[in-house]
Chains A and B, each alone.
Chain A
Amino acid sequence: MTQPALEAAEARIGAAGAKLGMWLFLFTELLFFGGMFLLYAVYRGRYAAGFHAAAAEENTYVGAFNTALLLTSSLAMALAVAALRRGRRHLSLLLQGATILMGAGFLAIKSVEWAAKIGRGLYPDSTVLLARSHGEVLFFGLYYVMTGIHGLHVLIGICLIGVTLGLTARGRLSAEQPTLLENTGLFWHFVDVVWIYLFPLFYLVT
């Protein structure tokens, strides 16, 4: 292979290969969350009544609003990618900014929910929680771990979009080189998909 042909080949690997790598990474993330869903499935099966009682305490309206917020942020992210691909840099910047804001809003609401529970003494190993049934203890344990690790992923996603925002503003990401934004988008959608499962499992199983 000649040198220019080789460089072309390597450039090709850069785009499609980077996508492949991102998808593979998302598989690993899926299995990481899979371990938590496994625990949930086992304990939900064993303590159905306790889970039922505990989930009744969650505020479905707040949860539904947060779900809508995160789904809309995913829409904004998808539009941001589409805008960049069509060369509309300013629109893409705006949409990325909107995604960050909605992600931050999600985290803010989540933290209010956490704070309210902690204020009522409902946190792992607390005397209030330990006085309840096994199912409720495990439900709230899983609630904190799963929404906590999910929230951590939202936070990482926000940081990543912050980076792409900066790179788009400086012209390093463009219609010709959108891969990093596309991969960040994939991550953001993945985090969204996980929430789509968490919402019914913690708010609607009652």
Chain B
Amino acid sequence: MAGENGAARPGFYRDAGPRRGCAAWMLSTDHKRIGVMYLAALTLFFVIGVAIGVLLRLSLIAPGKFFTAQHYDQAFTLHGLVMIFLFIIPGIPVSFGNFFLPLLIGARDVAFPRLNRLSWWLYLAGACVILASLFLPGGPLDTGWTFYAPYSVQTRTQVSFAVVGVFILGFSSILTGLNFVTTIHRLRAPGMGWFRMPLFPWTLYATGWVQMLATPVIAISLVFIFLERFFGMGFFDPAKGGDPILFEHLFWIYSHPAVYIMVLPAMGVISEIVPVFSRRTVYGYRAVAFSSVAIAGVGYLVWGHHMFTSGMSDTARIGFSLLTFLVAVPSGVKILNWLATLRKGAIQVDAPLLFALTFIFLFSIGGLTGLIIGSLAPNLHVHATYFIVAHFHYVMFGGAGMAFLAGLHYWFPKMFGRMYDERAAKFGWLLLFVGFNLLYFTMFVLGLEGMPRRYFDYPPRLFTGQLVSTVGSWILACGLAVILGNLVRALVRGRPAPENPWGGLTLEWRTASPPPAENFPEIPVVTGGPYSYE
């Protein structure tokens, strides 16, 4: 597509090798091409996930008119599967991480470019297997995204194939983490010591470790489900001496750290954006860097707080609750430091900062309500209600999702060499913000009033809340449509982006937009910290 100045999106978009078109992309080992392909796939799955979510909300204002109870179960399972395994877990690392990690540390590519391409293929393969499972005998699975045994072993829906798909995705995730950790160890530019590294790579480093140390545990749990279904091992079947709660432990040993796989890189994106748009050095750089590692470390040990009502000793429950409170401390450090960075800064509220500030606001609500759930007594009251649903949507969507949008607006000019329309972005943000809070804040209230999660129907007194929430989902969807429409329009018609539209100081802004295939004409030599604005 030719730009207005006649320069057809140069840089790495030019096919350098002998291959052309689709093959030149699918077979490319260029981290930037892989990042762009991931971004496209993620956006597609995000849109699908949102669409299913909107349908779920629609069904909830008229139960039975639209979905049967069984279809409702399958739809929320699919919503969770798509959003968690295909969008938010790979999410920021595979898209922005792939594209920008080598640029931010001044490298030409990741440590293992071919392994990176394999991760991308595995991701596609896993996605295809999951999608195929919907049409195989038994139909879409209805277990919820958690695959809890014994139901996941007993249901006649197509669990086996979906589990294989998630297993493949896990492999992709492990290899990405391994690749990034090695890259950060081995490929930093000359002069870039650990504490001269930008904060986004720091979070990718911590995330990489979590990906490597947690994902294998869900891999083996999924193997167990598969074996249970085909061979009846009995590991989770009380009739054969097995214990279903053990599956919950194995599942959350992965899936709680996975929450940090989703949120840590999001925090990294925010740490990149805040200093640029306030023209200030990050307040307490080392504290922010170490807090990422601390979150990853402590976050590994809190899985039991998902199971306070499942049957655990009181000692274990108190221990898990204490650790849950501890993990809030490094998150609090980050929030404090972002706010302190903004203080006395020359703040320029462009779209990236707007989304970043929204992250801070919504993530704080999500994080603080998380402490309510992490306390033993209130947990009994709100467990498995809409309160939980609201909490994790504030953290996941309000946190990781907003950071994804923030990163998208921040790096869009660099990735695609085009500028988007600022006013449309802000208008979309406004709709999104209003819709988001109508949709999810109402769920806090509904949860406290006793609305259980995953229920298809409810007593009439809860109708008003459900209606408000559903209207919120419509506004939110409109907001997302405006935001994505604006970016797609910019992709085709946007004016060419300069090398450094925001005045950023990190290395990615020192090369062309979009960057050339080898990233930098000369590998830069780093002589100072990443955010030396003063």
A residues with a Cβ closer than 8 A to B are 1, 6, 10, 13, 16-18, 20-21, 24-25, 27-36, 38-39, 42-43, 46-47, 50, 124-125, 130, 133-135, 137-138, 141-142, 144-145, 149
Contact = CB atoms under 8 A, between A and B. Distances in A.
Given A125-B231, A137-B234, A20 B186 contact: yes
Interface stretch (B155-163, B238-246, B375-383): B238-246
B181 interface: yes
A138 B216 contact: no
Contacts, number: 110
Contact of B217 (A13, A35, A125): A35
A130 B242 CA distance: 13
B110 to A, nearest CB: 10
Given A20-B185, A28-B213, A145 B111 contact: no
Contact of A42 (B174, B181, B243): B243
A22 to B, nearest CB: 9
Contacts of B190: 1
Contacts of A38: 249-250
B314 interface: no
A34 B216 contact: yes
A24 B221 contact: no
Contacts of A134: 240-241
| Secondary structure dominating the interface of B | helix
A25 B171 CA distance: 11
Given A24-B182, A35-B217, A138 B241 contact: yes
A17 B235 contact: no
Contacts of B232: 124-125
B233 interface: yes
Nearest to B232: A125
A25 B111 CA distance: 14
A143 B373 CA distance: 39
A34 B187 CA distance: 31
Contacts of A39: 224, 235, 246, 250
B182 A28 contact: no
A58 to B, nearest CB: 18
Contact of B220 (A10, A35, A137): A35
A34 B249 CA distance: 13
B227 interface: yes
A20 B183 CA distance: 10
A84 B219 CA distance: 36
B250 A35 contact: yes
B219 A32 contact: yes
Interface in B305-331: none
Given A13-B186, A39-B235, A32 B216 contact: yes
Contacts of A46: 241, 243
A88 to B, nearest CB: 30
Enumerate the 10 nearest inter-chain pairs by beta-carbon distance, A residue then B residue, closest first: A134-B241, A35-B220, A125-B232, A32-B216, A31-B216, A141-B233, A17-B186, A124-B231, A13-B186, A24-B178
A155 B235 CA distance: 25
B220 A32 contact: yes
B212 interface: yes
A18 to B, nearest CB: 8
Contact of A20 (B182, B224, B235): B182
Contacts of B243: 42, 46
A2 B178 CA distance: 29
A42 B243 CA distance: 10
| Secondary structure dominating the interface of A | helix
A6 B523 contact: yes
Contacts of B185: 17, 20
B234 A25 contact: no
B112 interface: yes
Interface in B82-112: 108, 111-112
B215 interface: yes
B522 interface: yes
B241 A28 contact: no
Nearest to A148: B227
Interface in B120-164: none
Contacts of A20: 182, 185-186
Given A35-B220, A124-B233, A145-B233, A28 B178 contact: yes
Given A31-B212, A38-B249, A149-B223, 5 more contacts: A38-B250, A39-B250, A137-B240, A137-B241, A138-B240
Which of A29, A35, A36 is packed against the most chain B CB atoms within 10 Å? A35
Given A34-B217, A124-B231, A25 B241 contact: no
A50 B240 CA distance: 13
A24 B211 CA distance: 11
B514 to A, nearest CB: 22
Contact of B178 (A25, A36, A50): A25
B522 A1 contact: yes
B242 A138 contact: yes
Nearest to B211: A28
Nearest to B242: A138
Contacts of A125: 231-234
Interface in B226-275: 227, 231-235, 240-243, 246, 249-250, 253
Contacts of B219: 32, 35
A8 B221 CA distance: 43
Given A38-B250, A141-B233, A31 B217 contact: yes
Contacts of B217: 31-32, 34-35
Given A34-B216, A43-B241, A137-B240, A21 B234 contact: no
Which of B174, B190, B227, B233 is packed against the most chain A CB atoms within 10 Å? B233
A26 to B, nearest CB: 10
B241 A24 contact: no
A20 B180 CA distance: 12
A28 B111 contact: no
B523 A1 contact: yes
A158 to B, nearest CB: 21
6 contacts: A13-B186, A17-B187, A30-B216, A32-B216, A33-B220, A35-B217
Contacts of A16: 186
A36 B111 CA distance: 31
Contacts of A10: 108
